Amino acid sequence: MVCYTNISHNYFMEQLLQSIYRFLRSLPIIGSLVKSLRDLYHHPALENRRLRKRDIARAHTELTNFFGTDSPAHQYLEEFIGSATFKQSYSFGYSGDFDVFMLHTLTRMQVPEVIVETGVASGRSSAAILDALEKNGKGKLYSIDLPLFFDASGPERFTTHEGNSELTGFVPQGKEPGWLIPDHLRPRWELILGDSNVELPKLLARLPIVDIFYHDGDHSYETMSYEFRTLWERIPQGGFLFSDDTKWNDAWKEFIGKHSDCPNLVYRSLGIIRKI
C-alpha cells in the first residue's frame, strides 16, 4: 500500500530545505560560506568515500539475499575491504568497488575450481579473484584480454558504434595486462592474450565446467550475447555469471529475460545472476 501522507510530507520537507538553502545562498557573507561547504561536501575525495560506504552496504545486502545474515560471506567481505589487495592502486578501466567486493566474496563462498574472465586491464578484478582463490587454497583463474595501451598522459575517449563512451586504452605503456597482480597470486592465474571471440572457444575446449564467469571485455551486443549464452551452458547449478556495463546495450536484459527464474541483480553497471 502506498502511503500518500508520507509522500506529501517528504515532498514538503524537500521543498522547505531547498527554500532555506536558496535563502542562505542569497545572504552576502553566509551565502559564500554555504557555497564553500557545499563544494567541500561534493569534493571528489569525500564523494568517493560516500560512494564506497554505499557500495559496502549494498554488497552486504546482496550477500544476505544470497546466503543469509549469519553467513561467513559478511566476514569475508570485511576482511577483503581491509586487505592490501583491495587498497592497492590501479589504473584506467578498472573494476568498481562493488564489482570486486562481490567477485572476491562469492569466490570465497563458492570455493570454485575454475573461473573465467574476459577483460583484464590493470587487473583489479583479477587480483580480487586470485586473492580469494589463494585464501580458499584451490582453484584457477583464466583471463582473456586484448590489451589496449596508452601513454603516460592517459587514454582519450571515443564513441562506439552503439553510442557508448569508451577509453582508447587501459594499460600504461611499458606495463602488461594485470600488471598490479602481486607475484604470490600469479601461480593460480593463466593470462591469454587475444580476442575473446577467438580465444574463448579454444579455452572452453579445455574446460568442461566453469564455476564463475565475469565479462568485462568487448561490450558490443554481439560479444556480450555470445559470451553470456556460451558460458551459461558451462556453469553448474549454484554457479554465478557476472557482467560489467550491463546498460550499454540489450544483451543483459535479453539474457535475464530468458532466465527469469534465476536470482539476479543489477547495481550500478554490474549484473549478477546465479544458476539454479
pLDDT of residue 168: 62
Q: According to the model, what pLDDT value does residue 240 have?
A: 98
Over residues 124-135, the pLDDT tens digits come to 999 999 999 999
> Within a 10 A sphere around the Cβ of 155, how many other Cβ atoms?
19
Per residue in 35-77, pLDDT (tens digit) is 766 665 555 666 778 999 999 999 999 999 999 999 999 999 9
pLDDT, tens digit, for every residue of 112-126? 999 999 999 899 999
- Rounded CA-CA distance 115/235 in Å is 10
pLDDT at residue 224 is higher than 60: yes
Superfamily name and number for 71-274: Vaccinia Virus protein VP39 (3.40.50.150)
| 83-97, 112-126, 141-155 — most confident range | 112-126
**Residue among 60, 47, 64 at smallest CA distance from 263:** 64
Q: Is the per-residue pLDDT at 156 higher than 80?
A: no
Residue 264, pLDDT > 90, answer yes
Q: Above 80 in pLDDT, residue 157?
A: no
Closest CA to 209 of 189, 238, 234: 234
User: What confidence tier does 6 reach under pLDDT thresholds 50, 70, 90?
Assistant: very low
For residue 39, the model assigns a pLDDT of: 66
Quote the pLDDT of residue 276: 94
The residue written with cell numbers 572457444 in the block is 201
| Distance (Å) of CA 88 to CA 85, 124, 167, 230 | 6, 9, 22, 33
Q: What is the identity of the amino acid at 265? A: L
Average of pLDDT values for 90-103?
80
pTM score, whole prediction: 0.81
Q: What is the mean pLDDT of residues 164-191?
A: 86
How far from each other are the two terminal CA atoms of the chain, in whole angstroms?
32
Sign of CA dihedral 87, 172, 134, 51: positive
Question: Does the structure show a pLDDT above 70 at 169?
Answer: no
Q: What is the pLDDT of residue 2?
A: 38
Task: Tell me the mean pLDDT in the region 95-106.
Answer: 94
Tell me the pLDDT of the chain averaged across its residues. 88
Residue 254 CA: distances (Å) to CA of 37, 100, 142, 257, 269: 45, 25, 26, 5, 15
Q: In the predicted model, what is the mean pLDDT of residues 15-25? A: 78
Neighbours of 116 (CB within 10 A): 26
Would the pLDDT of 5 be above 60?
no
The confidence band for 174, taking pLDDT boundaries of 50, 70 and 90, is: confident
Most confident by average pLDDT, 23-32, 134-143, 166-175? 134-143
